[in-house]
Chain A
Amino acid sequence: EAQVTQNPRYLITVTGKKLTVTCSQNMNHEYMSWYRQDPGLGLRQIYYSMNVEVTDKGDVPEGYKVSRKEKRNFPLILESPSPNQTSLYFCASSRLTNGWSYNEQFFGPGTRLTVL
């Protein structure tokens, strides 16, 4: 089954304790992206990657890191989480080989993170 998976789905942690949220897709997609969703603000793009070893900042990259060492994986790293990073996080992927314009983004199920 074609899918985007994220782990963990739920995480409660404390301020300053490094964490990684994994994202993996099995559709051989070139493009992957991370978003956070907060009430009243919608989804905001954190980082995206057009291909292996190519990453770029989205609209809200502060406090986050990413890496793209393999095509299928795009982990999101919070080196020193703070309470304002409490949010619902989505990973997504899409194909690029047939163009950028109208390729559908496929989303993972989301990771609900609480930082105390």
Chain B
Amino acid sequence: RKEVEQDPGPFNVPEGATVAFNCTYSNSASQSFFWYRQDCRKEPKLLMSVYSSGNEDGRFTAQLNRASQYISLLIRDSKLSDSATYLCVVKGRAGGTSYGKLTFGQGTILTVHP
């Protein structure tokens, strides 16, 4: 089983739609979680961190469920510019054996069409 798993999609949605991505992780000692966005083989860029209490940034909402070991990303009112690959990222726990390690999911492709 992969350490971090995402549905690769692709997700094809119309403008204005709401779309949700999930990501599961296998290492219960993982410390922190993120969603990164990657455009067409360019470098990944941080979209948002995922906090235990859940967090929202404009049209984007991230949730963490430690008991079930998954994180989610919800995008409301999709824009054409949201078309990209969304990467789930898990950081190892500080001071633990995986301190310094980052594990990426394989990415979920989103295409928003007019």
Contacts and interface: CB of A to CB of B under 8 A. Distances in A.
Interface stretch (B14-22, B58-66, B72-80, B99-107): B99-107
A36 to B, nearest CB: 11
A31 B42 contact: no
A99 B36 CA distance: 20
Interface in A1-60: 31, 33, 35, 40-45, 48, 50, 56, 58-59
Contact of B45 (A44, A100, A107): A107
B86 to A, nearest CB: 11
B94 A100 contact: yes
Interface string B41-79: 111111001000000000000000000000000000000
Interface residues of B, number: 22
A33 B104 CA distance: 13
B62 to A, nearest CB: 12
A89 B44 CA distance: 12
Q: Is the interface of B mostly helix, strand, loop or mixed?
A: loop
A56 B32 contact: no
A105 interface: yes
A104 interface: yes
Contacts of A43: 44, 87, 104
Contact of B101 (A58, A102, A108): A58
B26 interface: no
B43 A100 contact: no
A74 interface: no
A88 interface: yes
Contact of A110 (B8, B43, B104, B105): B43
B43 A90 contact: yes
B12 interface: no
B101 A41 contact: no
A108 B43 CA distance: 6
10 contacts: A41-B106, A42-B87, A42-B105, A43-B44, A58-B101, A90-B44, A105-B46, A105-B102, A107-B43, A110-B43
Interface of B: 8, 31-32, 41-46, 49, 87, 91, 94, 99-107
